[in-house]
């Protein structure tokens, strides 16, 4: 997929004219020193759904991974214009956009595997399947872990949440890169590079806040205590994850638990922060986020996220 760059031959002129007058090679993309090659992560990938996996299970599995990314992305993007300073504002927005990109690919894959998961829209609606999944499902249809949905707190809260979230997701995606579904594999290969940066970002800030001032350390420890009960859910294998993992298409979260623990223990040790003792947040009759059981916060978040799309179900964006 090639990206459009401003046409240097436009007679109207553009901000790039000054750059171009030194280049006799106008019209040739080799003249551009910066930012023209955008890659389609699915270029050349066989998008046929593998025959040896239950398409319905694959679809739900893609919703789980996609909803984690979508909901986490939205929480991060709520920081826009509110972060402690400009540079962190942009860093959080970049992270949110990375996750939104992953969500888009995963929700599209869910729809391709089983069109039955996509909410019905009015006849002739131009809304693509991944948008229908993002904007026209109720909270009870979302399969994300509850860690992703809790409302934002302070910056330390976001650092802790991102550390837990990206450590687990990176470990999952490293395994998912060898999925027998070529699309999931391609999504994972792309995601690993993004998630490695997210984890690095969160880990550095975790250390900085822990070893900063009394106030920063206090806030970090409080955030860790608040979020810790939500962490075990990320490493619990849901029956659907079990099915796709046995089919060689997905990854069972409990299989990466020890790898994630090594990373977190290292961050805690370097930061000289004790591992919290809190018990896992219980589900309701055994149901958790992966089953569509969520806190009230998700409904409120979705109401804001979905309101415009739902008001115009036949809108073209």
User: For residue 55, what are the CA distances in angstroms to 44, 152, 209, 252?
Assistant: 22, 35, 45, 17
Q: Minimum Å distance from CB 41 to another protein?
A: 13
Residues 6 or more apart in contact with residue 232 via CB below 8 angstroms: 280
- Which region, judged by CB under 8 A, interacts with another protein, from 26-34, 134-142, 214-222, 286-294? 26-34
Contact (Cβ atoms closer than 8 angstroms) between residue 245 and residue 237? yes
* Cα 172 → chain centroid: 13
If the CB atoms of residues 36 and 258 are measured against another protein, the closer one turns out to be 36
Of 71, 91, 224, 267, the one binding another protein (CB under 8 A) is 91
Say whether residue 32 binds another protein (CB under 8 A).
yes
Of 20, 31, 175, 242, the one binding another protein (CB under 8 A) is 31
CA pair distance 15, 21, nearest whole angstrom: 12
Residues 183-212, interacting with another protein (CB under 8 A): 201, 204, 208
Residue 51 bridge partners (DSSP)? none
CA pair distance 55, 52, nearest whole angstrom: 9
Say whether residue 86 binds another protein (CB under 8 A).
yes
Say whether residue 9 binds another protein (CB under 8 A).
no
104's tokens: 């888009």
Of 4, 12, 13, 38, the one binding another protein (CB under 8 A) is 38
> Quick count: other Cβ atoms within 10 Å of Cβ 43?
8
Residue 256 has what DSSP assignment? Answer: G
Note the helical H segments in 211-256. Answer: 214-227, 239-246
If the CB atoms of residues 37 and 123 are measured against another protein, the closer one turns out to be 37
CA pair distance 253, 258, nearest whole angstrom: 10
**How many residues contact another protein, by CB under 8 A?**
23
82's tokens: 């509110």
Say whether residue 94 binds another protein (CB under 8 A).
yes
Of 15, 37, 277, 279, the one binding another protein (CB under 8 A) is 37
**Secondary structure of residue 275 in the 3-state scheme:** coil
Say whether residue 14 binds another protein (CB under 8 A).
no
Q: Minimum Å distance from CB 212 to another protein?
A: 10
Say whether residue 15 binds another protein (CB under 8 A).
no
Q: What is the DSSP string of 22-68?
A: T-TTTT-GGG--SS-----TTTT---SPPTTS-HHHHHHHHHHHHHH
If the CB atoms of residues 78 and 88 are measured against another protein, the closer one turns out to be 88
Say whether residue 16 binds another protein (CB under 8 A).
no
Of 85, 123, 214, 274, the one binding another protein (CB under 8 A) is 85
Of 4, 12, 34, 316, the one binding another protein (CB under 8 A) is 34
Say whether residue 269 binds another protein (CB under 8 A).
no
CA pair distance 240, 53, nearest whole angstrom: 11
Say whether residue 30 binds another protein (CB under 8 A).
yes
158's tokens: 């976001």
Say whether residue 87 binds another protein (CB under 8 A).
yes
Say whether residue 33 binds another protein (CB under 8 A).
yes
66's tokens: 């996609």
Give residues in contact with another protein (CB under 8 A): 22-25, 28, 30-38, 85-87, 90-91, 94, 201, 204, 208
């Amino acid at each position: 997929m090639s990206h459009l760059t401003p046409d240097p031959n436009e007679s109207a002129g553009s901000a790039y004219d000054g750059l171009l007058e030194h280049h006799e090679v106008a019209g040739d993309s080799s003249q551009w020193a910066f930012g023209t090659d955008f890659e389609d992560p699915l270029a050349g990938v066989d998008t046929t759904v593998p025959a040896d996996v239950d398409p319905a299970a694959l679809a739900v599995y893609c919703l789980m991974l996609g909803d984690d990314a979508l909901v986490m992305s939205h929480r991060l993007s709520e920081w826009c214009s509110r972060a402690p300073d400009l540079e962190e504002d942009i860093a959080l927005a970049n992270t949110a956009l990375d996750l939104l990109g992953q969500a888009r690919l995963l929700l599209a894959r869910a729809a391709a595997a089983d069109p039955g998961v996509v909410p019905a829209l009015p006849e002739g609606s131009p809304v693509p399947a991944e948008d229908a999944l993002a904007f026209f499902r109720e909270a009870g249809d979302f399969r994300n872990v509850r860690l992703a949905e809790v409302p934002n707190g302070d910056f330390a809260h976001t650092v802790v949440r991102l550390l837990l979230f990206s450590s687990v997701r990176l470990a999952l995606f490293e395994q998912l890169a060898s999925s027998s579904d070529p699309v999931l594999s391609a999504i994972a290969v792309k995601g690993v590079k993004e998630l490695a940066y997210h984890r690095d970002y969160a880990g550095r800030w975790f250390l900085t806040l822990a070893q900063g001032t009394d106030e920063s350390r206090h806030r970090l420890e409080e955030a860790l205590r608040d979020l810790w009960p939500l962490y075990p859910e990320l490493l619990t294998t849901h029956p659907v994850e079990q099915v796709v993992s046995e089919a060689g298409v997905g990854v069972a979260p409990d299989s990466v638990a020890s790898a994630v623990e090594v990373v977190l223990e290292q961050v805690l040790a370097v930061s000289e922060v004790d591992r919290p003792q809190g018990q896992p947040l219980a589900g309701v009759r055994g149901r958790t986020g992966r089953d569509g059981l969520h806190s009230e916060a998700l409904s409120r978040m979705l109401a804001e996220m979905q309101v415009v799309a739902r008001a115009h179900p036949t809108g073209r964006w």
